[in-house]
Amino acid sequence: KHAQLAEGRRWKHAPYWICSFSNNQWDIEEELGSGDLAQSSFYLALTDPRTCATVMLLDEEAKALSRAWCLFEVLQTCLLSQRIPTFQGLLLCTPSGVLNKDDGQSGGSVSIDTAIAVAQTLKNLRLEEAAATNPADKEMIDALVERYPGKHE
């Protein structure tokens, strides 16, 4: 749905970087920057000059928002949105459409149940409660967040 909304008739040619498919699962430490978030595949993909938006795929419970790495991507997206006027920001995609962007031509509308479920998750979102498979990743992400205004508030 997002590609159709963003690219119009050329939607089948829209490139996407999908982190779960793009990380080398046999060398995950290097993929995650070997302790340097600025060298992680997540950060490098988000800050690539060709990147025009961040697309987050959500289920009805918005479980992605409970993952520390996903919230790291949200933080980087917010920072990019402040620095680059043409950056489209974070687009919340569901099976029925893009939750926070609609031009009336996306071919689907997000159900009210999905919108309410995502809003509830956002209302209760707390980064310090986000999970990471590797505790060191969680510590690294939390330390990064501590450097920004608002921190864990």
Instruction: Give the model confidence (pLDDT) of 69-118 as tens digits.
Output: 888 888 888 888 888 888 888 888 887 778 876 555 544 567 787 788 88
Average pLDDT of span 18-44: 71
The residues that bridge with 93 in the sheet, in sequence order, are 57, 98
- Which residue is it, tokens 């992680």? 40
Q: Which DSSP symbol is given to 94?
A: E
Sheet of strand 90-94: strand arrangement: 54-57, 90-94, 97-98
Give 60 or 2, the one with higher predicted confidence. 60
Q: Are strands 90-94 and 54-57 parallel, antiparallel or unpaired?
A: parallel
Predicted pLDDT at 108? 53
Q: Which DSSP symbol is given to 128?
A: G
Instruction: Give the model confidence (pLDDT) of 111-134 as tens digits.
Output: 787 788 888 888 888 888 899 888
- Which residue is it, tokens 């159709």? 4
> What band does 48 get if pLDDT is binned at 50, 70 and 90?
confident
Predicted pLDDT at 103? 54
**From CA 63, how far away is CA 83, in angstroms rounded?**
28
Q: Which amino acid is at 99?
A: L
Q: Which amino acid is at 51?
A: T
CA dihedral 129, 133, 134, 135 (to 10 degrees): 20
**From CA 86, how far away is CA 80, in angstroms rounded?**
10
Question: Could you give the angle at which helices 68-83 and 135-145 cross, rounded to 10 degrees?
Answer: 30
